[in-house]
Amino acid sequence: DSGVTQTPKHLITATGQRVTLRCSPRSGDLSVYWYQQSLDQGLQFLIHYYNGEERAKGNILERFSAQQFPDLHSELNLSSLELGDSALYFCASSFHRGKANYGYTFGSGTRLTVV
Amino acid sequence: GENVEQHPSTLSVQEGDSAVIKCTYSDSASNYFPWYKQELGKGPQLIIDIRSNVGEKKDQRIAVTLNKTAKHFSLHITETQPEDSAVYFCAASKAGANNLFFGTGTRLTVIP
């Protein structure tokens, strides 16, 4: 158990629907990152939140949105789903101390299948 | 922004042999270079990292080397075992940015 909790583990939904993926970061971590991983593809950065504020956006579609709540958990909302949105969605968290960088801790992912 | 390239995309080795995965980065301000291992159906797991103030770091059978001048870094796995079979990702970031830029991954297969 990495300490980063993602729910649900699997999700099957129809095209045009909306889903919410949830992430609880590791205790003490203030940053949450969302990544999309399609079949046999790399990790595509979607968005980064730090202590409730959006810090950086990657290749995130306008149909997708995210937020981080006061208790630091984060939700990724995917709407008007298309077949191509089928992928693994990972959440990662990290701890910042000054200017030093630290690695991410990833959750086990949510596998989204759009049918 | 930073661009991280990773080679090879696939690598097969015999059990007991060594495996080397190479990455290059574009931003000379990058100073933190982690490596992740992703097993089937799981999230990536940090296995080793290196900062720009050192040239090499070892942890048992794995080691990472960094050449700041050439802007490349490599993962070395010695005495490979079947459980080393996974996808490996390199990444880079710079001080204060905390956003990791990932390579495209290397699928390592260790043949028993």
Portion of chain B with pLDDT greater than 90, in percent:
81
Give the HSE-up count for residue B27: Cα atoms under 13 Å, Cβ half-sphere: 17
pLDDT of the residue at A8? 97
What's the rounded Cα separation, in Å, for the pair B103 and B7?
9
Closest chain A CA to residue B105: A42
What's the rounded Cα separation, in Å, for the pair B5 and B1?
13
Residue A105, chain B, CB below 8 Å: the answer is: yes
User: Which H or E run contains A46?
Assistant: strand A44-50
Give contacts of A 6-65 with B, CB under 8 A: 31, 33, 42-43, 45, 48, 50, 55-56
Closest chain A CA to residue B106: A42
Residues 6+ apart with CB under 8 A from A113: A10, A11, A12, A13, A86
Q: Which stretches of chain A score pLDDT less than 70?
A: 40, 96-101
Residues of chain A neighbouring B101 (CB-CB closer than 8 A): 45
pLDDT of the residue at A100? 61
Contact: B95, A96; criterion CB under 8 Å: no
Burial degree of B103 (CB within 10 A; 0-12, 13-18, 19+): buried
Lowest-confidence region among A72-81, B41-50, B90-99? B90-99
For the cut 80, the answer to whether the pLDDT of residue B37 exceeds it is yes
pLDDT, tens only, A47-65: 999 999 998 898 899 999 9
